[in-house]
Chain A
Amino acid sequence: MQFLGNLLEVNNLTKIFPLGGLISKKSVTAVEDFDLAIPEDRQVIITLAGESGSGKSTIANLLLGFIKPTSGKILYRDKNLLKLKGMEWKKYRREVQAVFQDPYESLNPFYKMSHVLMGPIRKFKLAHSEGEAHKLASEALLEVDLNPEEVLDKYPHQLSGGERQRVMLARVFLTRPKILVADEPVSMLDVSLRADILKILQNLEEKHDMSCLYITHDLSNAFCISKEIIILYLGSVMEQGNFETVIKNSKHPYVKMLVSSIPIPNPRSRWKGKVKLQEVETARLETIVGCKFCNRCPEAMPICNEKRPPLLDLKENHKVACHLYA
């Protein structure tokens, strides 16, 4: 029976990390009221963008089941992630995979490269014999333009960063997930190697029924393959929607500042005006009651200090969380 709802649905996801020892009661709200929906019937690459401290990596960890939410729900195929057991849990694990920023970190230095591919083959029972397993692994490596003979028997330190990340993507080909959480997949790679990785991700979306949550701080790279974007700031969504709309027609003051600061390789499209830098560290531990961007916002109004702006619908596929548009 075909499932026609949302593959992944996230509602009001919030994660608060307590700080300090037994006595201190301080905490940091890494993610607040985050919503997301990835449909079953089509493929999307959604960019989850934000600078450091925006909470994007925390969201990745929550969606992958590595940490538990403080409140809110993550539903996989309409079932609460925390309550998945047995076959349903196995299915989730099989269908939701990840690629991380540092491919070297993701590899166990004790084992050869074959280990990271054989793991899922064995656990997900993708092959019925050693021979078949080897064949699957080799095919996956060929999909990412790597020569199995040159890779499978090597140790992680013997390969380059680009090759290691390709092996991570070969693992994705192997597991054929429905959703890939890609956390800064190209940031640690040389600029000249990034295009190839982006091509592989695009290929996975177009030809292998895979949706991708592309998490990054670098919008220029994401724009190459993604058509949807969610922009986070200090744990809250500021603006989201069609990528091109959000870039060319930004509404939120933070997003305007962010987008205008992205360097364009064209001296005739230079930055206009200047940005203002912070003079002192603002303590993130202060509980901010109103809008999180309030103290840096050039268009702040009194209400911005008092109430959190709700995420408002502007147009077709364009939402912004800002009192200016209430």
Chain B
Amino acid sequence: MESALLQAQNLKVYYRTQSDPVRAVDGVSFAVKAKEIVGLAGESGCGKSTLAVGLLKLVSPPAYIEGGKVLYRGKDLFTMNNEELRKIRWKHIALLPQSAMNALNPVMKVHDQIKDAMEAHDGKDPGEDLGDHITTLLKSVALSSRVSRAHATELSGGMRQRAIISMAMALKPELIIADEPTSALDVVVQRGVLELLVDLKDKSGSSLLLVSHDIAILSEVVDRLAIMYAGKMVEIQDVYDIFDDPLHPYTRGLIASVPSLEKGGIPRSIPGLPPDLKRPPPGCRFHPRCPNASAICTKEDPILKEIEPGKFVACHASA
């Protein structure tokens, strides 16, 4: 894909255990284009968070990269040396890991933490007064300059998250990967933070990859939605298309299982449980729970195919 900013090709990230490795991300290919918001959805344990850190080769043991490539503007990140990769991280691609807001140092002032982060990735410029820069940065996330003198513990969850976002935006990256950026936040604050991320993305012309288990939240802001199940990518479509006509049975089940204020009643959850990723079932990983499973589903693992421009699905039924 030519216009792809970031492209994963058959990425595999496994976890070492005392027995078989856990195949958390097992051959995932997808791309994020310039200036778009992509949502990566799936239930917990599907591998989406592992994928998010895997894209930047930030996996820590017992996780390891088993195979595949990640191309950033055509260059393979996995063949770069550490120094080159470090420069790409933060300056070009920023990662907001899960619970990042809890990773703020409670004994440092916010100002100093932002300063540290900037200096670590951009190099120290002794002449530059970062004070103004940081105030502008905080303002861009709707935080008053008073916040820069505060400690993380004095701020609410939403404010801490915004401070983290400001740190991620500091070096004006082209792609921001945010893993569950709003999970512990109140409803109104959640909306505010997401609207802020979209706003910042628009203003800086960057792209956003939002990882979340909550497809309701993703449906509010994303352009395209990618669905993962048990370590595999099962569907990628434009967000309007995917809700109008979900192609994969899992996507259909997922959408039907989300409670909504638009419809009442208890939603139908997909029967069964996700498989053990140490020994996934043969063939399609979803077949034990799939209402449309047929013989071939138990034998052959379907490949993610582009059945129409922009519509990707990994299912024998739509081949």
**Chain A contact residues, CB within 8 Å of chain B:** 51-52, 190-196, 198-199, 202, 217, 219-221, 223-225, 244, 247, 257-259, 261-271, 274-281
Q: Which of B59-67, B255-263, B308-316 lies at the binding interface?
A: B255-263
Residues of B with C-beta under 8 A to A202: 266
Residues of A with C-beta under 8 A to B260: 220, 264-266
A277 with B240, Cβ < 8 A, contacts A195-B268, A198-B266, A257-B188 known: no
The 3 A-B residue pairs with the shortest CB-CB distance, nearest first, are A263-B216, A51-B186, A265-B216
Is B269 within 8 A of A196, CB to CB? Answer: yes
Is A265 within 8 A of B255, CB to CB? Answer: yes
In the assembled complex, the Cα of A52 lies from the Cα of B158 at a distance in Å of 11
Tell me, yes or no, whether B190 is within 8 Å of chain A by CB. Answer: yes
Size of chain B's interface in residues, with CB distance under 8 A?
A: 50
A151 to chain B, nearest CB (A): 16
Is B43 within 8 A of A191, CB to CB? Answer: yes
Is A281 within 8 A of B267, CB to CB? Answer: no
Tell me, yes or no, whether B220 is within 8 Å of chain A by CB. Answer: yes
In the assembled complex, the Cα of A270 lies from the Cα of B262 at a distance in Å of 12
B162 to chain A: closest residue by CB:
A277
Is B188 within 8 A of A275, CB to CB? Answer: yes
A275 with B192, Cβ < 8 A, contacts A220-B261, A223-B261, A225-B266 known: yes
B147 to chain A: closest residue by CB:
A280
Is B258 within 8 A of A271, CB to CB? Answer: no
Tell me, yes or no, whether B44 is within 8 Å of chain A by CB. Answer: yes
Residues of B with C-beta under 8 A to A225: 266
In the assembled complex, the Cα of A270 lies from the Cα of B216 at a distance in Å of 10
B298 to chain A, nearest CB (A): 22
A264 with B262, Cβ < 8 A, contacts A191-B213, A192-B270, A281-B154 known: yes
A212 to chain B, nearest CB (A): 14
Is B188 within 8 A of A195, CB to CB? Answer: no
Is B220 within 8 A of A224, CB to CB? Answer: no
Tell me, yes or no, whether B187 is within 8 Å of chain A by CB. Answer: yes
Is B219 within 8 A of A267, CB to CB? Answer: yes
Cβ proximity bits B293-315 to A, threshold 8 Å, 1 near / 0 not? 00000000000000000000000
User: What 15 new A-B contacts, CB under 8 Å, besides A261-B188, A265-B215, A271-B220?
Assistant: A51-B186, A51-B188, A52-B186, A191-B43, A194-B269, A247-B261, A261-B191, A263-B220, A265-B255, A266-B243, A266-B260, A268-B240, A275-B195, A276-B192, A277-B196
